[in-house]
């Protein structure tokens, strides 16, 4: 009940004006709200650190050893074999279509006619295989240590010395050949020797192979990859012996008709290896190989 401040008459709580005199009634006091409970103190927790991101270190160059060197050699030989096989099958098929597959003499003549192109293709494929495989295996190609490929040019003065040494070795071989050697009949010549003595495109293809393909490709492989890898696995003497043996064996198709040339090929291999080790670069070895082949080419072209 609410009492009127003017007349004192009590009225219902729901009434806004006094029922007796009409005076505005005051609203009943609003009870105070109970106090809010105290807020709990803030607790600052140490955030949990996210685990660190660990990045894998970049792949470094692969260490050259005997196994990897042999793998490069196998790929090199495989590329050459595949190129020669395809050329042989193609030329044999063309000859068979032209004159019959039972005409073996014509097929043999056709194979000899395409031999210059085959040699160029095989040499190019071998070079591509060596360079591509070495990069695929991620060797440190500019490692000039005895166990590295040493694929660096070297000083021009050292390259000139290598060129001169190669020329001297070739002249020594020519003197030895003229003194004790003999020229086999033309039908008993190896494929490269037959090309060198055949004027025209075969002779041009032989010169290109001897001067542009053989020196860089064979030195990058034998005195670079093979020697470095084999030395890592079997030491200096074993690497020199095995590398030289493989190099000489690769010329078997020519040496079988002229065994005395084994001395010249072995001498070239050892001289090129000595230059590569002395100057810690493959450039002088290439120059020696080029000088040797160029001297032999000049002598052959002069005689023909």
pLDDT of residue 105: 66
pLDDT of residue 284: 98
pLDDT of residue 61: 72
CA distance 93 to 97: 6
Q: What is the mean pLDDT of residues 76-90?
A: 87
10-19, 96-105, 286-295, range with the lowest pLDDT:
96-105
- Tell me: the pLDDT tens digits for 163-175? 999 999 999 999 9
CA distance 186 to 170: 22
The CB density around residue 183, as the number of other CB atoms within 10 Å, is: 13
- Tell me: the pLDDT tens digits for 37-72? 777 666 655 666 666 766 555 566 788 999 999 999
Burial class (CB in 10 A: 0-12, 13-18, 19+), 150: buried
Q: What is the mean pLDDT of residues 103-132?
A: 82
Core vs surface per residue 116-136: b (16+ CB within 10 A) or e: bebbbbbbbbbbebbbebbee
C-alpha closest to that of 213 among 274, 268, 290 = 290
CA distance 133 to 80: 14
- Looking at per-residue pLDDT, the higher value among 55 and 87 belongs to 87
54-68, 233-247, 288-302, range with the lowest pLDDT:
54-68
Max avg pLDDT among 10-24, 104-118, 186-200, 231-245: 231-245
Q: How confident is the model at residue 179 (pLDDT cuts 50, 70, 90)?
A: confident
Q: Which structure tokens are listed for 63? A: 């260490």
CA distance 293 to 214: 9
End-to-end CA distance of the chain: 143
pLDDT of residue 236: 96
Q: What is the mean pLDDT of residues 18-28?
A: 67
pLDDT of residue 108: 65
In the predicted model, what is the mean pLDDT of the chain? 85
């Amino acid at each position: 009940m609410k009492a009127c401040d003017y007349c004192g008459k009590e009225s219902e709580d729901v009434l806004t004006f006094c029922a007796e005199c009409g005076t505005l009634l005051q609203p009943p006091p609003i009870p105070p709200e109970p106090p809010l409970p105290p807020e709990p103190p803030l607790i600052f927790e140490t955030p949990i650190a996210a685990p660190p991101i660990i990045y894998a270190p970049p792949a470094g160059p692969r260490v050259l050893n005997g196994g990897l060197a042999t793998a490069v050699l196998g790929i090199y030989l495989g590329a050459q074999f595949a190129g020669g096989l395809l050329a042989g099958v193609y030329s044999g098929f063309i000859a068979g279509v032209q004159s019959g597959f039972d005409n073996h003499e014509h097929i043999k003549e056709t194979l000899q006619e395409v031999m210059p192109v085959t040699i160029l293709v095989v040499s190019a494929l071998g070079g591509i295989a060596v360079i591509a495989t070495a990069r695929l295996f991620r060797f440190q190609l500019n490692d000039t240590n005895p166990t590295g490929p040493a694929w660096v040019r070297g000083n021009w003065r050292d390259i000139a010395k290598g060129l001169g040494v190669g020329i001297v070795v070739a002249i020594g071989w020519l003197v030895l050949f003229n003194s004790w050697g003999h020229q086999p009949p033309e039908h008993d010549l190896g494929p490269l020797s037959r090309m060198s003595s055949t004027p025209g495109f075969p002779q041009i293809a032989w010169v290109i192979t001897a001067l542009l393909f053989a020196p860089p490709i064979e030195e990058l492989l034998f005195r670079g990859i093979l020697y470095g890898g084999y030395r890592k696995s079997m030491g200096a003497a074993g690497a020199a012996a095995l590398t030289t043996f493989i190099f000489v064996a690769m010329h078997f198709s020519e040496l079988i008709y002229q065994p005395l040339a084994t001395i010249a090929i072995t001498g070239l291999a050892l001289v090129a290896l000595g230059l590569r080790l002395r100057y810690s670069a493959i450039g002088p070895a290439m120059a020696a190989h080029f000088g040797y082949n160029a001297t032999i080419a000049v002598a052959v072209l002069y005689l023909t």
